[in-house]
């Protein structure tokens, strides 16, 4: 299954190691939505018709999903999960690809809008 990553799971991000044997499908991809800085060293996104979020797409082997779900605070418990696991359309080289994406479930994550739609993994690591 394909996963769109836009924060700490991106190449160079502090949690990129969670992707293990995942294959990079697209180094440059774009999803519609709004990106927020959570103030906790990682971003959160909200899907929307407007706005662009830059990220990468990986093909994730089945055995990696439980660890990624845990990292993202996703346990299929809508009342308590930090993030929700949804499908979304992502644009890669002019084509539309359907992927999984983790979107903010806890509204308290949405601290400061990242106008550029790009989470800079280097800046985030310096803040930690």
- Which residues belong to the active site? 72
Q: How many residues does the chain have?
A: 128
Q: How far is CA 109 from CA 6, 7, 80, in A?
A: 15, 14, 13
Q: Is 73 left (phi over 0), alpha (psi -120 to 50) or beta?
A: left
Task: Return the SS3 of 51.
Answer: strand
**Helical (H) or strand (E) element with 95:** strand 95-104
In the structure encoding, which two tokens stand for residue 98, read together?
Answer: 């359907």
């Amino acid at each position: 299954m394909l996963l769109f990553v836009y924060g700490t799971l991106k190449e160079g991000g502090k949690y990129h190691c969670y992707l293990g044997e995942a294959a990079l499908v697209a180094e440059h991809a774009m999803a519609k939505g709004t990106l927020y800085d959570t103030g906790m060293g990682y971003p959160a996104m909200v899907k929307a018709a407007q706005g662009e979020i830059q990220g990468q797409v990986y093909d994730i082997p089945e055995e990696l999903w439980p660890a990624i779900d845990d990292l993202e605070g996703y346990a299929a418990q809508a009342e308590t999960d930090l993030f929700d696991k949804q499908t979304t359309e992502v644009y890669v080289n002019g084509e539309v690809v359907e992927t999984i994406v983790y979107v903010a479930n806890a509204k308290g994550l949405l601290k400061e809008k990242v106008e550029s739609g790009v989470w800079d993994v280097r800046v985030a690591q310096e803040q930690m």
